[in-house]
Structure formats: C-alpha cells, structure tokens
Amino acid sequence: MKASAIAGTGDLALFAELARRDREYGANPTPGVRSPAPIAMAGRWPRRYDKSMGLEDKARELAAQKKNEPPVDWNAERKWWLDQLQRLHENVRRWLAKLVEKKLVEIRSTNTQITEENIGTYNAASLVLDFAGQGIVLEPKGTLLIGGRGRVDVYRRGARGSQPSMLILSGSKEDATWSIWPATRDHGARISLDEASFESLLESLL
C-alpha cells in the first residue's frame, strides 16, 4: 500500500496498517527497504501515548479524591431543597395576601413528580396562581443543577411550550437566595427576588 493511501484514511487506519505490516514483515514493512514506520509515527504516537498516561493519572487522582470525600446524605439534600421551596411558597402567599383577601387571585398547591440522579424520584409542591382564569404556574424542576441549588419555572398556563422565566436558588446552604432569570435568558438581567420584582414578573406574564 502506498503512503498516500494510508494517510488518506486517517490516523486510525494508519496505525492499523503499520501494525499489520509489523506482524507480517517484522521491523521493516517492505523487505530490504528501511521501515518508514518511525517517520510516519513521529509526532503522533508518542504524544498521544503521553496524553493517555496523563489522563490515567488524572483519573486516578479524581478517584482517590472521591474515595476520601465524606458520603453525601441525599435524603438531607432533598429535605433541604423541599424546605427552600416551602419558604418560597410562604413568601409568595404573603406577597399576594391582599389580592387573595380581595378575591382577585386564588392560590392552589399541586404535586409535581421530579426524578434526579442520586436523590431519586420525589414529589414537590407547585403553586398555581389563578387570576380570574389566567393561571401562572410555579413548577419546581430540581436541585442538582450546574450554577445553582434549585430551579423553579414560572409560566402562564396554556403557554408551556414557550420558554419560561425561572427562579434560581443560589449561594451557600446557610444563606441561599432566590433570583429571577427572565425568559430572555440574559444573564445580566438576573435580579433579586422580592415582593416588587415578583409582582413585576407576574405582570409580564398576564
């Protein structure tokens, strides 16, 4: 086989062909001709071999770190997350208390089933805010998130296909706080969740 044909098949084919020649002819792919294998392999196998060894070392290091870490109490993680949801719902009910008293909004609680790795499947409370038939849903999505400790989607009932706004729980467990991430997904637009910002969010959805 010509060298150009080998190169055209890519690195894997090249290495397979060189290995076949080694098995068939020994050190030299063509009897009486100096082996081109060292030239073809120069700058290829040695670097990849080193990378492979580096990856193995890193994998061993991570495995050792994980072995030394204390086990995670996933039941406690789930309970903490559900406690945060309960506090959020208490705030929402307090913020809308005057509208509820005037019968301008009805607040209902429903169960949402969530499945998360390690934590498993569990039920979490969702809130439905009914403004004269126009429903705003606060639906929890989970706690094991990248860049946050919890997420609740906020959307108008009947418009679930559109991109929802989100409430993101972040910070340490001791001082975790909620913020609003609008449907535009502009990171710079995140604002702290309080009574005024929540009312503005609801106005934008109604």
Q: What is the pLDDT of residues 139-178, one digit of tens each?
A: 999 998 877 889 999 998 876 556 788 999 998 888 899 9
CA-CA distance, 193 to 145, in Å (whole number)?
Answer: 19
Tokens matching residue 75: 């039941």
pTM for this structure? 0.65
Residue 166 β-bridge partners:
153, 181
Distances (CA, A) of 21 to 35, 77, 158, 174, 199: 10, 58, 66, 65, 74
Tokens matching residue 151: 């997420």
